Structure 1
Amino acid sequence: MSTTDRTFALDSLTPLHWLGITMALVSALVHLVLGIGFLPHYMGVLFLLATGGFVGAIVLVLIDYRRTLVYLVGIPFTLVQIIAWYQVVQPDSLAALGTADIVDKVAQVVLIGVLIVLYQRET
């Protein structure tokens, strides 16, 4: 099958896949809102690029295109999001975090866990 013949392969997705897709969508939405809010500052562009990364990965999983590679790349991609956020925000307590911070970081931690399990299952 050529790449132009790709269709959604939803029947091959497990509940764990759907959990990962949901977590990636949550993070993409948070990054989209923040990105739009930060424009035209360069941080806005970075947030929108992160949005594109999450959405692009979701599409690749949905069409069953090199899923194992998507999982493997998604782990450090998501981890970098967490590290970069910590470097920029430098929270000193949980009270210093906003709702978007908490929702996004919980979604990203869960996503990393899901990606690790999915990768292990397929290798």
Structure 2
Amino acid sequence: MESTEARQPTIDIGSLNGLHWVGIVAALVSAAVHLLLGVRMFPSPMGVSFVLAGLGFIGGVGLLAIDYRRRAVYTVGIVFTLVQIVLWYVVNFAGGTKSFPADVGTLGAVDKVAQVVLVAVLIVLLRR
């Protein structure tokens, strides 16, 4: 007789390759930047949005680690991260007083490099 209990998610890092780990590091770097900035701005709406974005990156890593619908996670991760990049540019540079790239800042640069790496990794993983 088959059990009717739901299968408990288990961590499956054995199925992760080097490319996955590059993506995980990139996602965690972006998560750390967002959480740091979010905590600094909390409880403003912008602070809350940064904390939620940071948790989104961590959630994606968690879903990857438990091998939950990885192709869907890659696709959502690409869109989520691209939206982050576009929003960052619009909020900081489009029609504002800041100039790109002179006013990017260290955290902004670290975050955007991590996000571009993450998008590239996710595209490669999705195409495999």
TM-score when normalising by structure 2: 0.90
Are residues 1:97 and 2:104 paired? yes
Instruction: Give CA deviations for 1:81-114 in whole Å, capped at 9, x if unaligned.
Output: 0000001110423221110000000000010000
* Aligned partner letter, 1:103: V
Q: Which of the residues 49, 57, 61 maps onto 1:58?
A: 61
Aligned equivalent of 1:76, options 76, 79, 94: 79
State the percentage of identical aligned residues.
55
Match of 1:110?
117
Runs of 4 or more above 3 Å deviation: none
Give ranges in structure 1 of 5+ residues lacking alignment. none
Corresponding position of 2:20: 17
Q: What is the number of equivalent residue pairs in this alignment?
A: 121
Show CA shifts across 1:39-74 (max 9, x none).
Answer: 111000000110111000000000101111000111
Could you tell me how far apart the structure 1 residues matched to 2:7 and 2:48 are? 29
In 2: Cα distance, 1:94 partner to 1:50 partner: 23
Deviates more, 1:87-96 or 1:106-115: 87-96
Unaligned runs of 5+ residues in structure 2 are none
- 3-state SS of 1:93 partner: coil
- Structure with more helix by fraction: 1
Q: Of 33, 37, 40, which aligns to 1:34?
A: 37
Q: CA RMSD in A?
A: 1.5
Which has the higher Rg, Structure 1 or Structure 2? 2
Alpha-carbon distance in 2 for matches of 1:22, 1:3 = 31
